[in-house]
Amino acid sequence: SYCRNEIGSYYCSCFSYRIFNWLARFFKSDQEACYERSSEETPFLENSQEIPKHKRNPENIAKIATQIFQKMEEIIWTEDLASPGKHENTTLGIVYEIKRCNETSEKTFLEAGNNTMDIDCTDAFKGTIEDRSAVALVTYQSLQDMPNGSFFNDGRGTQEVKLNSHVVSGTISTKKKVYLSEPVFLTFQHVQPGGTRTKHFCVYWNGSEEGGIWSTKGCHHVRSNSSHTECKCFHLSSFAVLMALVSEVDPVLTVITYVGLSFSLLCLLLAALTFLLCRPIQSTSTSLHLQLSICLFL
């Protein structure tokens, strides 16, 4: 649920995303659990998405996202859901595929919701004792743009960053934390086509008790076309592709700028040398012009 403080009171409403309400029963939160609402209140809940997004507390959204990703990686391995094959759970708004690791084959390929993952099972389960080693790829179809690109900061002031794929989670059946020496390759289908003026970032959700952010640490962009982006990452987590608009550079204007700037500096240098070395024309006026030329040159 989403709560907003007001003078002398507070106001709460529920997110319209099904996965939030279903997973609310697992969250440790003082907020009202939306899944306990009666059926008569359903139309109100469906209209709660009309709440302006800027009024939703980013810290709460980040905490909820972190809880969802962590809890989903636990739930996906329950006996009811962990059967090998491709599955769809409309209650959670997810599609996922689970595969047993084949001892005779190192690479395992998974596909869920037009997103794919290629993982080295031998590397993922090294140092662990698992009777039934398995890997899973989960695509969240109901999260839409939450958490969105506002939770990303690459330190370079990239503007207009937006989520351009579904969020996916790569997970394995062991609870032991693993470190990969071989990268996991992920291919994402774009939500909207990428153009020549776009830059794509491969990110994962770096969650914490305080919330979380999108981070590129350990993930690298391999290639992109108008419809897909390929990434490689050295850990398993929840991943996505962010898209940013970049300014288009005209090579002709760049050449004109550099040539014009060089010519201007040359003229200023010649003017300064003329005012400095030609004694017949030296005066108070030429001294001022000399100082002006030097200032412009610098």
Asked whether residue 166 falls in the same domain as residue 291, the answer is no
Q: Could you give phi then psi for residue 265, rounded to 5 degrees?
A: -65, -40
pLDDT at 263 over 80: yes
Asked whether residue 204 falls in the same domain as residue 261, the answer is no
Asked whether residue 164 falls in the same domain as residue 278, the answer is no
pLDDT at 203 over 70: yes
pLDDT at 216 over 80: yes
Asked whether residue 226 falls in the same domain as residue 88, the answer is yes
pLDDT for residue 100: 86
Asked whether residue 127 falls in the same domain as residue 241, the answer is yes
Give residue for tokens 């302006």: 52
Asked whether residue 138 falls in the same domain as residue 233, the answer is yes
pLDDT for residue 52: 43
Spatial CA neighbour of 231 closest among 221, 239, 241, 240: 221
pTM: 0.65
pLDDT for residue 114: 92
Range of the domain at 37: 1-56
pLDDT for residue 279: 76
Instruction: Out of 218, 245, 272, pick the residue that ends a domain.
Output: 245
Asked whether residue 270 falls in the same domain as residue 153, the answer is no
Residues 149, 155, 158, 159: is their CA dihedral positive or negative? positive
Asked whether residue 113 falls in the same domain as residue 169, the answer is yes
Q: CATH number, domain at 123?
A: 2.60.220.50
What's the one-letter identity of residue 183?
P
CB distance 120 to 233 below 8 Å: no
Asked whether residue 144 falls in the same domain as residue 236, the answer is yes
Peptide bond before residue 183 is cis, with ω within 30 degrees of 0: no
Asked whether residue 33 falls in the same domain as residue 90, the answer is no
Percent of the chain clearing pLDDT 90 (strictly above)? 20
What is the count of structural domains for the chain? 3
- Each residue's pLDDT tens digit, 161-196: 888 999 999 988 877 667 788 899 999 999 888 777
Least confident of 38-42, 151-155, 170-174: 38-42
Give 104's pLDDT tier (boundaries 50, 70, 90). Answer: low
Instruction: Out of 10, 26, 56, pick the residue that ends a domain.
Output: 56
Asked whether residue 85 falls in the same domain as residue 26, the answer is no
pLDDT for residue 93: 84
pLDDT for residue 195: 72
